[in-house]
Amino acid sequence: MEGSQDQVRFAILTVSDTRSSATDRSGDALERLIVAAGHRLAYRGLVRDEVDAIETALREWIASPNVDVILSTGGTGITGRDVTPEAVGRVLDKELPGFGELFRAQSYAKIGPSAMFSRALGGIAGGKYLFALPGSPGAVADAWDGVLGPQFDSASKACTLLELMPRLVE
């Protein structure tokens, strides 16, 4: 992580067959949250719900020295076109099952049993954090506010993802 000790460089990948850069409300919401928290947006992109396209974009950003964390939005549901978890699975070195569990628990409190349809997941790939979030603006805000934001806040007193970041490749 270059620059300030607590400024994290994020990349946002929107996965959608129907959205464009002009209609990507979830990506817009994530960008606002990241910047408001004092972090930096390194890259932002949009790909179709296709495993190879998602994997290619993720691998490019994993290899980039300008990225610390990759957040994808979209494609984590259960329909036939929802393939983000499969693409993410191809690139992960380690999965963080607790992220998906926490996200679904938080979602359950808001939407009840429908939370089971989310296949949100997180992990580590090439020394970078990677989180696959659902494609709605509300879900990405919930993931940031309830799980990720506090984990990338240097003021947090608990063990955090930010604190562990320098040791991901030891």
99 in a domain, yes or no? yes
pTM: 0.94
CATH number of the structural domain spanning residue 145: 3.40.980.10
Report CA Rg, the chain. 15
10-residue mean pLDDT profile of the chain (170 residues): values are: 67 95 95 96 97 98 98 96 97 97 96 96 98 96 96 89 90
Determine the structural domain holding residue 96 and report its residue range. 9-161
169 in a domain, yes or no? no
Q: How many domains does the chain have?
A: 1
Q: What is the reported pLDDT for 92?
A: 98
Can you name the residues that pair with 128 across neighbouring β-strands?
A: 125
Q: How far apart are CA 152 and CA 110, in angstroms?
A: 24
pLDDT in tens, 24-68: 999 999 999 999 999 999 999 999 999 999 999 999 999 999 999
Q: What is the reported pLDDT for 6?
A: 67
120 in a domain, yes or no? yes
25 in a domain, yes or no? yes
167 in a domain, yes or no? no
**What are all long-range contacts of 142-148, with beta carbons under 8 Å and residues at least 24 apart?**
142/103, 142/106, 142/107, 142/110, 143/103, 143/106, 144/30, 144/33, 144/34, 145/33, 146/102, 146/103, 146/106, 147/99, 147/102, 147/103, 147/106, 148/71
